[in-house]
Chains A and B, each alone.
Chain A
Amino acid sequence: MKYADEFRDKEIALGLAKTIRAETDPGRPYRFMEFCGGHTHAISRYGLEDMLPDNVRMIHGPGCPVCVLPAGRIDMAIRLAERSEIILCVYGDLMRVPGSQGASLLKAKARGADIRMVYSTIDAIRIAEDNPEREIVFFAIGFETTTPPTAVMIRLAEKKQLSNFSVFCNHVLTPPAMQNILESPDIRNIGRVEIDGFVGPAHVSTIIGTAPYEFFAEEFGKPVVISGFEPLDMMQAILMLVRQVNENRHEVENQYSRAVTRDGNLRAKEEVSDIFELRDQFEWRGLGPVPYSGLKLKRAYARYDAEVRFGMNELCVDDNPACECGAILRGVKKPVDCKLFGTVCTPETPMGSCMVSSEGACAAHWTYGRFRDHQQRRAS
């Protein structure tokens, strides 16, 4: 594809790859986790792994809001959508996420539930205005980046005095999940997490800034480089991490200074904290319950909170016991180490969180990287 895009320049990329090769110490491993699914996607889509030396390994973290949504929350949404008065508005990529026993919103829609795919929060508001006799519920998901638009939507609903509109809130927070990866009790079972640094999410940081990551750098001694999503951004961030490791530094560095500041977007942060508050804990598919990692609507906005409004009960569904997501999300195992990978678990029939969306670690490996396994097998 002929892009005249300065962030995809092959020559610069090859130059960066060469510098990374020259600066890494062949005697030690460099294991970096990119937390965000957008990064995972870029790595796979542009074949970045091919350009890195063998001792630099990228670990695909849990950073895809669709993947980490537990089956129970999907079941809750399906139950809601099955009520005849309700129109459930969802983003397209949620439609195929499996709930318990193979259920999904796509299947619920086929059976007659009124589920509408929307492309922005504004679409949901419009549907609410067009259908005053129905109850419109917006299935809100996403990290810090998508929370401000949900807040704006609630403000708008308030302004328009919409009485038939509410939000099923599944917004989650990045820093608590990163912390969980490094220090959850699970680690006793799955083994030591060997991560030498993090590629931090750029979009999230445009909102929250880089400051929240300083804690990791200090407390866990891990370097963090906030990186953009273009392949050149990624390569540069990796080089910055390599340098920090070599120099025994652990700081928060900002590769994405064209959009990210230390403090982030103050107005967006204010808006979010006006409307949302922390949940004591929220379950992540693959990670289990993570303390203070999810948001819910404040009491003052309870009329817009679908969970309150429709008396929704929390449903919990256990993940498939053979699924190795927890270990994969922490970099202890690779997708091919899971017995289910590529057999019962494929993008068409995902069993665990890493296979659910194209940005999950297993799905990305299945879709873009599978051929490497055969090459490696042949080589060994």
Chain B
Amino acid sequence: MKAYQRKLDIRNGCVDLSHGSGGRAMAQLISGLFHEAFGNEWLARGNDQSAFDVGAGRMVMTTDGYVVSPLFFPGGNIGSLAVHGTVNDIAMAGAKPLYLSASFIIEEGFRFADLKTIADSMGEAARTAGVHIITGDTKVVERGKADGLFISTSAVGIVPDGLDLSAENARVGDRVLISGTLGDHGVAIMSKRQNLAFETEIVSDSAALNDLVARMVEAGGAGIRLMRDPTRGGLAATLNEIAQQSRLGFHLVEEEIPVKPGVAAACELLGLDPLHVANEGKLVAIVAPETAGAVLVAMREHPLGRDAADIGEAVADDHHFVQMATSFGGGRIVDWLSGEQLPRIC
């Protein structure tokens, strides 16, 4: 048996099974590491749950699991990603995200130092987004049973009165707006996973979009039909999903779709299509044509929407195809990805 450690040795120590046993070691981990990082009045009360006030409007709730590899990537880590992703799911309803829960499944042997970095960046991400992590859970599993660390987060938020964003609101003629360059997150992750050295380091776009959304709602109100964050499956999957749900088709113009040259080059190299690559700090908005201009201006005034663009429109199409005029002058379909995105060999 290892001697019981009185104080967490963050620099050299690691998580072992005792930290998930419900005993003192676990209490130390939670208060010494997580509370420290997330620090807020709700957690400080030390209950198994947190009570909070509910404002006016409809509540929204979401939950998500994070199982990324590698855990650390250029522009973030699994912790900041977990906060951003969940905050964004709430924000896509046009809602103001308020409270988060976080549940950790940690593999024994996981270094405290890494856990602290992750928890700190979660705390930081939450503060920046103006939300509070008010409840959580910690489990430790044996070596080999988790890929280092899994995080699940849930969040609640409130949609302002009069706003009801949903795919069935989309109409023929609506504009398709995106908030910035595509594929940054997916390529940043892949560049680490595959140890591919790209000339320019590509940084994940992981960010909380609630503030950008608030500005858009201010500018566009109910003219915004719906919003989505194009995460896994990229813009292609998101637009195909919306096309199915809204029973419309989309026409995109490839030249208008912003992609960083470094991302485009990396995709070329790996045989991937940037439209299929994941984003963690971008949104797609389907907006009434008369409102689109104002929303686009509002987006471009926000740091997270600087590269926002109007990339196409909703059209009547019984087959719900997403079509694109290629920058080369031809036309093609933008389909869902089949299976996992795997690089081609030649």
The interface of chain A, by Cβ under 8 A from chain B, is 1-4, 8, 10, 13-14, 17, 37-38, 44-51, 65-66, 91-96, 106, 117, 119, 141-143, 145-146, 203, 231, 346-348, 357-359, 363, 366-371, 374
Contacts and interface: CB of A to CB of B under 8 A. Distances in A.
B257 interface: yes
A8 B346 contact: no
A348 B344 contact: no
A142 B332 CA distance: 28
A143 B346 contact: yes
Contacts of B342: 92-93, 95-96, 117
B333 interface: yes
Nearest to B254: A1
Interface in B248-293: 254-255, 257-259, 261, 264, 271, 273-274
Nearest to B345: A91
Contacts of B332: 44-47, 368-369
A278 to B, nearest CB: 21
Contacts of B321: 370-371, 374
Contacts of B257: 1
B344 A50 contact: no
A285 to B, nearest CB: 16
Nearest to A66: B345
A47 B251 CA distance: 14
Interface magnitude class on chain B: 20 to 34
B1 interface: no
27 contacts: A1-B255, A2-B261, A3-B261, A4-B261, A8-B328, A10-B327, A13-B329, A17-B329, A38-B346, A46-B328, A46-B332, A50-B329, A92-B342, A92-B345, A93-B271, A93-B342, A93-B344, A94-B345, A106-B339, A142-B345, A146-B345, A146-B346, A366-B335, A367-B335, A369-B332, A369-B333, A371-B321
Contact of B346 (A45, A145, A347): A145
Nearest to A49: B330
Contact of A203 (B259, B319, B346): B346
B333 A10 contact: no
B329 A51 contact: yes
B326 interface: yes
Given A66-B345, A371-B321, 5 more contacts: A14-B329, A48-B328, A96-B342, A146-B346, A369-B332
Q: Indicate the member of B273, B326, B333 with the most A CB atoms within 10 Å.
A: B326
Contacts of B346: 37-38, 65, 142-143, 145-146, 203
Contact of B274 (A1, A47, A95, A367): A1
Contacts of A47: 325-326, 328-332
Interface string B298-331: 0000000000000000000001010101111111
Given A46-B332, A49-B330, A370-B333, A348 B338 contact: yes
B5 interface: no
A37 B330 CA distance: 19
B196 interface: yes
Contacts of B338: 346-348, 358, 363, 367
Nearest to B334: A368
A49 B326 CA distance: 12
B335 A119 contact: no
B328 A13 contact: yes
Interface centre among B264, B332, B333, B338 (most CB of A within 10 A): B332
Contact of B255 (A2, A37, A66, A143): A2
B343 interface: yes
A51 B328 CA distance: 9
B47 interface: no
B194 interface: yes
Contacts of A366: 335
